[in-house]
């Protein structure tokens, strides 16, 4: 499946280089087309050109199609890999995996894909209807233009891609709840993950029956959303470049919208380049964590982050086992979470150093922001990406691709290579800390 994503990026690059895809005469340069195609397929949303003016209507249609295929492909990849892992496990492991993933698989692979496609179509359709009516009735757009822009942004929102047909993304709609809220809820629905969505639809009245995965995803999403919302309000309340000029209701709406978009959405309703350094630091952390597993969001994922929190808490208390809601977490799962998180840290650190070395006039914190956004496939930018040299843009392309399929592939490889020896070596205790 990673090769399928690579093939789609290559095909998308060729299509984006067609003269018909560019608004001005001539073809787009190779690196520009490659960056845009990779960003769309990996549902990131970063761009090195002004999306609404550089690309033609045909180019915008290509972005929509690539984002939709990329988002749906991620769901397919996650589902196939989860089934592959469960088949390689022993009887006990397969029974546990089946119990934990019953909300997604239901034992029917084709049925899963049909349900995923149906949820995507319904969610995007509802978002498009609300936004179409608002643009048509509230902003005087023609019905055709309102419908097209609503469909484009609905696809981008649910797939957590983040491309926009406006040079300022959603800044012009910062105080309009009829635009911001539908897109924000679309991002939320796409980032929480289909296993969780299906289980919540079935068991929303009985939280005690939720699987550990659903509990960690929901709890983590609520906690991080509250933290991001409060931090953004606290640090940006008086900032004249972001929330300062807005009314109190406008500040609340802008903070909520930007909080939702921070961990995966890619849209921005305020000028990120004018955010305070404290907000940028917290945003880096939220982007790195990302959204739910088997979702269109990126990052190391909520379950990984939450599980590491439980591991730390158990170690601090001297507990022999990591227990979540009366369920003991296997040591293999704990090691996988640590591996995914540390590999993510290594990729972001390496990418930041590389970007800093390839550019001379970009502050380190801005380079870290762009790299984290690319790795986590978020798509937020402080405005430095378009000015990067081609070599630095290639670094971000690699990070987008690895961040999109690498952690899934690596996690599965770890799981597939799990084996139990019939012997154990003598124990040794090196000093830690």
Give 142's contacts (C-beta < 8 A, 6+ positions apart). 136
Domain boundaries of the chain, sorted by first residue: 2-416
For the stretch 177-186, pLDDT in tens is 999 999 999 9
For the stretch 7-66, pLDDT in tens is 899 999 999 999 999 999 999 999 999 999 999 999 999 999 999 999 999 999 999 999
199: tokens are 């289980």
Quickly state the pLDDT bin for 73 (edges 50, 70, 90): confident
Report the distance separating Cα 39 and Cα 45, nearest Å: 5
Residue 301 φ/ψ region, left for φ over 0, alpha for ψ in the -120 to 50 degree band, beta for the rest: left
Q: How far is CA 329 from CA 92, 267, 350, in A?
A: 14, 36, 31
pLDDT at 407: 61
210: tokens are 């939720």
Judge whether 386 and 29 are in contact, CB under 8 Å.
no
Q: Residue 411: CA atoms inside 13 Å, Cβ hemisphere, count? A: 26
272: tokens are 């990120």
pLDDT at 95: 41
For the stretch 122-174, pLDDT in tens is 999 999 999 999 999 999 999 999 999 999 999 999 999 889 999 999 999 99
Report the distance separating Cα 293 and Cα 194, nearest Å: 8
pLDDT over threshold 70, residue 88: no
pLDDT over threshold 60, residue 101: no
pLDDT over threshold 60, residue 414: no
For the stretch 360-372, pLDDT in tens is 788 888 999 999 9
Report the distance separating Cα 25 and Cα 15, nearest Å: 15
For the stretch 242-290, pLDDT in tens is 999 999 999 999 999 999 998 888 899 999 989 999 999 999 999 999 9
pLDDT at 92: 44
pLDDT at 94: 44
Judge whether 138 and 149 are in contact, CB under 8 Å.
no
Only one residue has tokens 């430095």, namely: 384
pLDDT at 419: 63
């Amino acid at each position: 499946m990673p090769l399928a994503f690579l093939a789609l990026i290559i095909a998308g690059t060729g299509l984006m280089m067609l003269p018909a895809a560019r608004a001005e005469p001539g073809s787009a340069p190779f690196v520009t087309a490659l960056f845009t195609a990779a960003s769309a397929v990996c549902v990131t949303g970063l761009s090195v050109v002004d999306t609404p003016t550089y690309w033609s209507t045909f180019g915008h249609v290509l972005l929509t199609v690539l984002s939709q295929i990329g988002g749906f492909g991620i769901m397919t990849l996650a589902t196939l890999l989860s089934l592959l892992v469960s088949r390689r496990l022993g009887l006990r492991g397969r029974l546990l995996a089946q119990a934990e993933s019953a909300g997604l698989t239901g034992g029917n692979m084709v049925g899963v894909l049909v349900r995923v496609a149906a949820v995507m179509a319904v969610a995007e359709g509802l978002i498009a209807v609300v936004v179409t009516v608002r643009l048509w009735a509230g902003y005087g757009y023609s019905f055709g233009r309102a419908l097209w822009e609503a469909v484009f942004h609905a696809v981008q929102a649910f797939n957590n891609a983040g491309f926009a047909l406006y040079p300022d993304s959603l800044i012009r709609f910062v105080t309009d709840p009829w635009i911001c809220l539908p897109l924000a809820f679309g991002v939320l629905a796409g980032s929480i993950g289909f296993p969780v969505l299906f289980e919540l639809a079935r068991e929303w009245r009985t939280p005690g029956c939720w699987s550990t995965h659903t509990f960690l995803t929901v709890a983590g999403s609520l906690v991080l959303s509250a933290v991001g919302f409060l931090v953004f309000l606290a640090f940006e309340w008086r900032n004249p470049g972001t929330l300062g000029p807005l009314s109190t209701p406008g500040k609340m709406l802008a903070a909520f919208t930007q909080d939702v978009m921070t961990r995966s959405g890619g849209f921005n309703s305020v000028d990120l380049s004018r955010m305070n350094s404290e907000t940028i630091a917290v945003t880096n952390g939220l982007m790195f964590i990302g959204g739910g597993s088997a979702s269109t969001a990126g990052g190391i994922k909520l379950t990984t982050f939450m599980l590491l929190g439980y591991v730390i808490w158990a170690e601090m208390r001297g507990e022999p086992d990591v227990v979540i809601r009366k369920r003991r977490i296997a040591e293999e799962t704990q090691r996988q979470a640590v591996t995914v998180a540390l590999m993510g840290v290594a990729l972001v650190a390496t990418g930041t150093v590389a970007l800093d070395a390839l550019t001379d006039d970009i502050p380190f914190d801005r380079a870290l922001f762009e790299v984290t956004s690319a790795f986590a496939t978020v798509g937020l930018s402080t405005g430095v990406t378009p000015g990067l040299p081609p070599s630095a843009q290639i670094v971000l392309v690699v990070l987008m691709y690895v961040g999109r399929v690498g952690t899934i592939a690596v996690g599965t490889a770890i799981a597939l290579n799990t084996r139990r020896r019939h012997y154990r070596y003598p124990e040794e205790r090196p000093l830690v800390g």
